[in-house]
Amino acid sequence: MAKLRYHIRFPEEKIPAPIIYEIGHEYKVVTSIRRADVRDTTGWMDVEFLGDTEEIERAVDGMREKGVLVDPIELNVVE
């Protein structure tokens, strides 16, 4: 089992969507939200995904397909 950490950003139109819930149902991953700031026009979450590495990668791709932005927890590591 792998634990991978991501910073997820929600565009305004995606804020009401239950995307974390959906991902937990569509893929064999356990999600754990550690920090979040969701407002009227913007939102982000720091989330841990627990599962097989490949399944987590599929879940991340799935989130991107749903229109949210997924980055490493460190944000940009290329300086």
Task: Using CB under 8 A, list all residues that contact other proteins.
Answer: 5, 9, 34-35, 37, 42, 44, 46, 48, 69, 71-79
Tell me the CA end-to-end span of the chain in Å, nearest whole number.
31
| Phi, psi torsion values for 33, nearest 5 degrees | -85, 125
- Sign of the alpha-carbon dihedral angle for 1, 22, 18, 14: positive
Q: Rank residues 25 and 76 by Cβ distance to other proteins and give the closer one.
A: 76
Q: Rank residues 65 and 74 by Cβ distance to other proteins and give the closer one.
A: 74
Q: Rank residues 18 and 74 by Cβ distance to other proteins and give the closer one.
A: 74
Q: Could you tell me if 61 and 8 are in contact, meaning their C-beta atoms sit under 8 angstroms apart? A: no
Q: How far is the CB of 2 from other proteins (least distance, A)?
A: 10
Q: How far is the CB of 57 from other proteins (least distance, A)?
A: 10
Tokens 């939102």 found at: 43
Q: How far is the CB of 28 from other proteins (least distance, A)?
A: 20
